Amino acid sequence: MIVSSGNAGQVSPFVIEQVESIKRFGVEFQYHDIIGKGISGYLKNITPLRNKIRSFQPDIIHAHYGLSGLLALLVRRRTPLITTFHGNDINTLHPLNNYRPNWNKVLSKVVYRLGNHSVFVTEDLANQILANSIKSDIIPCHVDLNIFYPLDKVDARKQLNLSSSKKYALFSSSFRIPIKNYTLAKQACHHFDDLELLELNGFTRKEVNLLLNACDLALITSYNEGSNQFLKEAMACNRPIVSTKVGDAEWIIGKTEGCFLTLQDPKDVISSIRKALDFCERTGMTNGRDRIIELKLDAENTSRKVFNLYKKIIF
């Protein structure tokens, strides 16, 4: 049984894509979408989740994010629990909040200690709560190479009704999510007269692929991340990228030409955007897709790791 937030109207796409990729091993899944925010909102799901577990009788409960794992701990009885920690359940949400208690992190430690096994999408997240390798694995979420792939930029722009003469940067998320630091992205992009910053919000997966291929660069200015899916998707589309040094961005990008890591500094971001635009003008595409394949972040390799973990927990 998959236990995850459904407050966005559905479970996160990367959770759904992981589930779909594991089904090829003959695993049957059922979802419990948590509706409600914060600890009090999650606790309202105790009875519905308990009833669903009694009905479905899963061999494993796989929770995504720490609060989902906490909810599952309260109702699971003897059912083995795996929790995947994705980032904002452990990371401080904003640098200015460092003086405040990070209750998400405290509760995630509880879930890690009382659950059967934990998955962290980066090694840094595991290190932050002192997880050991016996009771945890590092498995970043995969990128679906059948959904995200290179397309002709001119054709992608035609399908999206974007100008053929302008330059576009695609922001990694909604402008309204504080942790993504839209202010820095906006400040940097305003330095360029001919560069428009597009918001990634409310699009289908097919449309996201079109947007990535239509843009001159993908832009990430987040304060922190787990293992950024947008980054991996941009790499799969061979797009030039500018990203702050968050999560596992440095590992994913490696030495890929046309992809630039930057500090949380407007001048540094502006300089990196200029380099990415120049690369796009001269070369067009990066070799990011090859890097994703090299790191085995495709669906087949990642799903097999999760399936092998399921077998280990059960047997």
The reply to whether 220 falls in a domain is yes
Q: Note whether 287 and 302 are same-domain residues.
A: no
Q: What is the pLDDT of residue 94?
A: 60
Count: domains in the chain: 2
In angstroms, the CA 217 to CA 231 distance is: 11
The reply to whether 160 falls in a domain is yes
Cα-Cα-Cα-Cα dihedral sign, residues 305, 307, 308, 312: positive
**Average pLDDT score over residue span 33-61:** 93
Q: Note whether 168 and 129 are same-domain residues.
A: no
pLDDT tens digit sequence for 160-183 = 999 999 999 999 999 999 999 999
Confidence of residue 236 (pLDDT cuts 50, 70, 90): very high
Q: What is the pLDDT of residue 93?
A: 63
Q: Note whether 6 and 104 are same-domain residues.
A: yes
Q: Note whether 80 and 169 are same-domain residues.
A: no
Yes or no: say if 258 and 241 are a contact pair by the CB < 8 Å rule: yes
Q: Tokens at residue 160, please?
A: 């999206």
The reply to whether 147 falls in a domain is no
Q: Note whether 166 and 64 are same-domain residues.
A: no
**Average pLDDT score over residue span 79-96:** 86
**Average pLDDT score over residue span 270-283:** 98
Listed in sequence order, the DSSP H helices in the chain are 13-22, 38-43, 46-56, 66-75, 103-114, 123-128, 153-160, 182-189, 205-214, 229-236, 249-253, 266-282, 288-294, 299-314
Mean pLDDT of the chain: 95
pLDDT tens digit sequence for 241-260 = 999 999 999 999 999 999 99
| Percentage of residues in the chain having pLDDT higher than 70 | 97
DSSP assignment of 189-244, as one string? HTTSTTEEEEP--S--HHHHHHHHHHSSEEEE--S--SS-HHHHHHHHTT--EEEE
In angstroms, the CA 45 to CA 181 distance is: 32
**Average pLDDT score over residue span 139-148:** 97
Q: Note whether 305 and 179 are same-domain residues.
A: no
Q: Note whether 15 and 91 are same-domain residues.
A: yes
| 136 beta partners | 118
Q: Note whether 157 and 137 are same-domain residues.
A: no
The reply to whether 208 falls in a domain is yes
Q: Note whether 183 and 288 are same-domain residues.
A: yes
The reply to whether 177 falls in a domain is yes
Identify the CATH number of the domain in which residue 257 sits.
3.40.50.2000
Domain with 304, as residue range(s), is 2-142+298-314
Q: Looking at the whole model, is its pTM more than 0.85?
A: yes
Q: Note whether 104 and 6 are same-domain residues.
A: yes
Q: What is the pLDDT of residue 2?
A: 98
The reply to whether 264 falls in a domain is yes
The reply to whether 25 falls in a domain is yes
Q: Note whether 302 and 290 are same-domain residues.
A: no
The reply to whether 148 falls in a domain is no
Yes or no: say if 116 and 82 are a contact pair by the CB < 8 Å rule: yes
Q: What is the pLDDT of residue 100?
A: 67
Residue 9 has pLDDT above 90, yes or no: no
Q: Note whether 280 and 160 are same-domain residues.
A: yes
